Amino acid sequence: MQLLPGRLAAQDEDRAGCEVQLKQIHEAIQAYRKENKELPDRLSALLGKYLGDPDKLVCPLARRSGLRQENDPRTSYFYEFGTRLLHPNFPGKTVRDWKERQMGKAGSDVPVVRCQHGERDGEGVWLNLSFGGEVYESGLFWEAEERIADFLGAEDLYAGNLFAHEAQVVRVIRISPRPEGLDARLIDLSSFFNAALGEKWDGDDGNDLKRLRGDDVKGRTGIDFDLRGVVQLANADLKFKFATSVEIPVGVACTKLHFLQGCGYEAKQGEVVGKYTIRIRGHEPGKQEIRYGEHVLNWWHNPGAELAGNEAIMAWEGTNEARNGKPLRLYMTTWQNPHEGAEVQGILFESNVGSAMPFLLGITAEP
């Protein structure tokens, strides 16, 4: 995407102002810590005593666009050390617990505040205020920057790995173990499953995927998947039950990724219900959207509803007790790696938290 020169200039002009503010926020956070012996819960807690001017919490660029944080409307900045719960897979762990563990690995380069400071060549430009007080630029994934990637794999910083021991306790209860010796190209989603296939996982008794068989999926798609559970993300109604995104470590070189997925509830034709951001070693991240009516439809299939276009195929049709013989459907979408054979390091799976609820059953990489 080509940016208008005027827009680029404004972004660069505001950058110096943004950097100055980030450094002032750093000082305010240090003063807060000194007095309260802990970090603030949110940036607006700094206002008044630690940061006099409320404008300092709004990037000059955001002052024009009006962008503010939904959970802290007095600031445009993303605060990375909040105390909300991380994910049901890590009971009792907060985002801050995770960030503190990241600091154990990556030290004071871990950002404490981030600004989505415009974009360049269609990619977001992020200004990061590190825990150590330095401002540095990165893309969406600061973990991929040289300063980190030189000595750590980004996957070392995933919550699933940092809390691996704790996560296992939850996993053993419900999800059957991954078959031994299974090909690494069948991506291991064990840490992210939040229901087993035979469990009811969306309301009614008997509303499960007990009858989903890998052979049936392979018959329609030609692809093997590791099918043991469901990764459900939140929609607007289930925001407090499920995470809105998960970061899945991959670490496999491939030409294609096949996603076996579905969707609860409905959305408008063509509406984006979720997306995958695919981190590729040495390249800009790839993207795969999940559009309602093109990649997925309500898994409780409505008679006559069919996918438009050719970006996905119906990968399984079956039923369950709750449906009482009426059909359930799942779909497969294939993403082509533009950097053929380059390693996919990880995948961020995100819901756009609208009316529909995207869910994922499996990901398989093709060499």
d(CA 227, CA 154): 26
Beta-strand runs (E) in 148-236: 195-196, 229-232
Compute the least distance from the CB of residue 125 to Zn ion, in Å: 9
Q: 200-219: which residues touch Zn ion (CB under 5 A)?
A: none
Q: Which long-range contacts (CB under 8 A, 24 or more apart) does 74-77 make?
A: 74/43, 74/44, 74/47, 75/43, 75/44, 76/115, 77/22, 77/25, 77/43, 77/113, 77/114, 77/115
β partners of residue 313 = 332
The answer to whether 18 contacts Zn ion (rule: CB under 5 A) is: yes
User: Which is closer to Zn ion, CB of 129 or CB of 280?
Assistant: 129
User: Which is closer to Zn ion, CB of 80 or CB of 294?
Assistant: 80
User: Which is closer to Zn ion, CB of 119 or CB of 343?
Assistant: 119
User: Which is closer to Zn ion, CB of 86 or CB of 125?
Assistant: 125
Q: 67-126: which residues touch Zn ion (CB under 5 A)?
A: 115, 117
Helix, strand, coil proportions of the chain in percent (round to 5)?
25, 30, 45
Compute the least distance from the CB of residue 120 to Zn ion, in Å: 13
Find, among 174, 356, 136, the residue nearest to 262 by Cα.
Answer: 356
The answer to whether 260 contacts Zn ion (rule: CB under 5 A) is: no
User: Which is closer to Zn ion, CB of 67 or CB of 170?
Assistant: 67
Compute the least distance from the CB of residue 349 to Zn ion, in Å: 27
d(CA 27, CA 51): 9
β partners of residue 129 = 113, 135
- Part in contact with Zn ion (CB under 5 A); list of ranges 12-20, 150-158, 196-204, 253-261: 12-20
User: Which is closer to Zn ion, CB of 129 or CB of 357?
Assistant: 129
Compute the least distance from the CB of residue 336 to Zn ion, in Å: 34
User: Which is closer to Zn ion, CB of 57 or CB of 167?
Assistant: 57
d(CA 308, CA 291): 10
Please give the DSSP secondary-structure letter assigned to residue 47.
Answer: B
Compute the least distance from the CB of residue 12 to Zn ion, in Å: 11
Q: 50-69: which residues touch Zn ion (CB under 5 A)?
A: 59
The answer to whether 45 contacts Zn ion (rule: CB under 5 A) is: no
Type and span of the H or E element at 30: helix 5-36
Compute the least distance from the CB of residue 60 to Zn ion, in Å: 7
Number of residues that bind Zn ion (CB under 5 A): 4
Compute the least distance from the CB of residue 14 to Zn ion, in Å: 6
CB 294 within 8 A of CB 366: no
Find, among 311, 326, 330, 299, the residue nearest to 225 by Cα.
Answer: 330
CA 68 to the chain's CA centroid: 20
d(CA 107, CA 93): 20
User: Which is closer to Zn ion, CB of 17 or CB of 206?
Assistant: 17
User: Which is closer to Zn ion, CB of 141 or CB of 225?
Assistant: 141
Compute the least distance from the CB of residue 276 to Zn ion, in Å: 27
Compute the least distance from the CB of residue 53 to Zn ion, in Å: 16
Query: Which residues, in sequence order, are CB contacts of 292 under 8 Å at separation 6+?
Result: 263, 266, 267, 268, 269, 270, 271, 272, 273, 356
Where along the sequence are the contacts to Zn ion (CB under 5 A)? 18, 59, 115, 117
